[in-house]
């Protein structure tokens, strides 16, 4: 491959032996018709069927296809991260290897990106998946994520997306955060767009996702929200929580004393030794102090992380400084 591609298409595969040829042929038809300078990066995520052999065979006869096989099934996030690391194009497109995304939508994504966006996400308005196990959890999760993160995306789960490489270069993927790529992109200052795309029913193989992933999505949402809001100032969340616990503890303590001092018919409302508020006061103050200590430890870790790598806490988008050229 002599020329550097302008577009990189990344496709993770996992046990998709019956879909490999169809996805490849449909993608090649569109890319050749549009005459893009492109490369296809296929990542086999440790498949146990014939997926890798079919990808390898295609790669041997097509220099635009680069195939990589992970040593085991790491998951979709590491598979995408591997593809991002290998991509050479300035525009990076991701899509699924199950045949449900339509390559015919790629020109639409590129056109939308050229309007001035850094990331454009597909929106499966007419999604061809079971309602109870796939669509309903997705609808609820997308509404929650949109409300918490304020990222204007209706379908975060759609794999068909296009990114500018300079945005991807500033994003580190861990765990199962591939679902939150638009959220992470917003964190680094990306301009985000969305466009409706087609979605086809799965013809071969079985889906790797089910309703059980809802819990994982909620946990990842907590992680992403923390990273977006408090990654460089953890004391703001832990310290504030600790202060509220301490205030509640002091109020409980004051209430305990008042209940001991105020008498009814010569008897205190409640003695201090038998008042549960006294225990609540002590426990709340201790918990509050622990939260503040956690915040301080977090601040130390953050400073160690950034200062040891000389890593800035900002990202410059453009510059007119001639001294940097």
Q: CB neighbours (10 Å) of residue 283?
A: 13
| Residue with more model confidence, 171 or 212 | 171
pTM: 0.78
Please give the Cα distance from 117 to 120 (Å, whole number): 7
- Range 101-112 average pLDDT: 95
pLDDT of 110 over the 80 cut: yes
List, in sequence order, every residue forming a beta bridge with 199; answer none if it has no partner.
101
Q: Is the pLDDT of residue 272 over 80?
A: no
Tell me which of 16-30, 77-91, 115-129 is least confident: 115-129
Reading the block at residue 118, the tokens are 């850094």
Residue, of 205 and 224, whose pLDDT is higher:
224
| Separation between Cα atoms, residue 69 and residue 248, nearest integer Å | 55
- Token readout for 89 is 């194009």
Contact between residue 218 and residue 149 where contact means Cβ atoms under 8 Å apart:
no
Q: Where are the alpha helices (DSSP H) in the chain?
A: 20-34, 51-61, 76-86, 106-113, 136-149, 165-168, 181-187, 213-230, 235-261, 276-308
- Which candidate, 103, 94, 44, 95, places its Cα nearest to that of 71? 44
Percentage of the chain exceeding pLDDT 70:
92
Question: Which tens digit of pLDDT belongs to each residue from 177-196?
Answer: 888 899 889 888 899 999 99
Per-residue DSSP letter, 135: I
* 222 pLDDT above the threshold of 70: yes
Total Cβ atoms within 10 A of residue 173: 19
Are 171 and 184 contacting, i.e. CB atoms less than 8 angstroms apart? yes
Rounded to whole angstroms, the Cα distance separating 99 from 26 reads 9
- For domain 7-230, give the fold: Spore Coat Polysaccharide Biosynthesis Protein SpsA; Chain A (3.90.550)
Encode pLDDT of 293-318 as tens digits. 999 998 898 888 777 767 676 666 66
Check the CA dihedral 45-49-51-53 and report its sign. positive
The SS3 of residue 29 is helix
For helices 51-61 and 20-34, angle between their N-to-C axes, nearest 10 degrees:
30
Q: Is the dihedral of CA 298, 300, 303, 308 positive or negative?
A: negative
Coil, strand, or helix at residue 231? coil
Q: Tell me the torsion sign for CA atoms 203, 209, 214, 217.
A: negative
What one-character DSSP code corresponds to residue 4?
P
Please give the DSSP secondary-structure letter assigned to residue 162.
E
Cβ neighbours around 23 below 10 Å, total: 22
Encoded tokens for 74:
């790491």
* Biggest CA pair distance of the chain: 97
Nearest to 10 by CA among 77, 107, 108: 77
Based on C-alpha coordinates, what's the Rg of the chain?
Answer: 26
Task: Return phi, psi of residue 63, to 5°.
Answer: -75, -10
Q: How far apart are CA 173 and CA 180, in angstroms?
A: 10
């Amino acid at each position: 491959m002599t020329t550097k591609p302008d577009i990189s298409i990344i496709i993770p595969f996992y046990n998709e032996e019956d879909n490999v040829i169809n996805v490849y042929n449909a993608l090649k038809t569109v890319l050749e018709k549009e005459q893009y300078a492109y490369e296809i990066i296929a990542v086999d995520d440790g498949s146990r069927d014939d997926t890798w052999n079919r990808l390898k065979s295609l790669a041997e006869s097509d220099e635009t296809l680069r195939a990589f096989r992970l040593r085991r099934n790491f998951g979709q996030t590491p598979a995408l991260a591997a593809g991002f690391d290998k991509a050479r194009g300035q525009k990076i497109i991701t899509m699924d290897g199950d045949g449900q995304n339509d390559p015919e939508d790629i020109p639409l994504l590129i056109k939308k990106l050229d309007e001035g966006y850094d990331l454009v996400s597909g929106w499966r308005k007419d999604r061809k998946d079971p309602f109870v196990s796939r669509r309903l959890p997705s609808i609820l999760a997308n509404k929650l994520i949109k409300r918490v993160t304020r990222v204007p995306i209706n379908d975060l789960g759609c794999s068909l997306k296009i990114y500018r490489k300079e945005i991807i270069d500033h994003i580190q993927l861990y765990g199962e955060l591939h679902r939150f790529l638009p959220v992470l992109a917003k964190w680094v200052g990306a301009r985000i767009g969305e466009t409706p795309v087609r979605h086809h029913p799965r013809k071969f193989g079985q889906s790797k996702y089910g309703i059980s992933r809802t819990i994982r999505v909620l946990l990842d949402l907590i992680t992403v929200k923390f990273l977006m809001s408090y990654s460089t100032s953890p004391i703001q969340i832990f310290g504030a929580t600790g202060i509220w616990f301490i205030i509640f503890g002091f109020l409980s303590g004051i209430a305990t004393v008042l209940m001991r001092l105020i008498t009814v018919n010569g008897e205190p409302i409640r003695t201090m030794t038998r008042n549960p508020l006294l225990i609540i006061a002590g426990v709340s103050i201790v918990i509050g102090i622990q939260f503040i200590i956690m915040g301080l430890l977090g601040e130390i870790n953050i400073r160690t992380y950034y200062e040891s790598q000389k890593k800035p806490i900002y990202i410059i988008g453009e510059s007119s400084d001639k001294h940097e050229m």
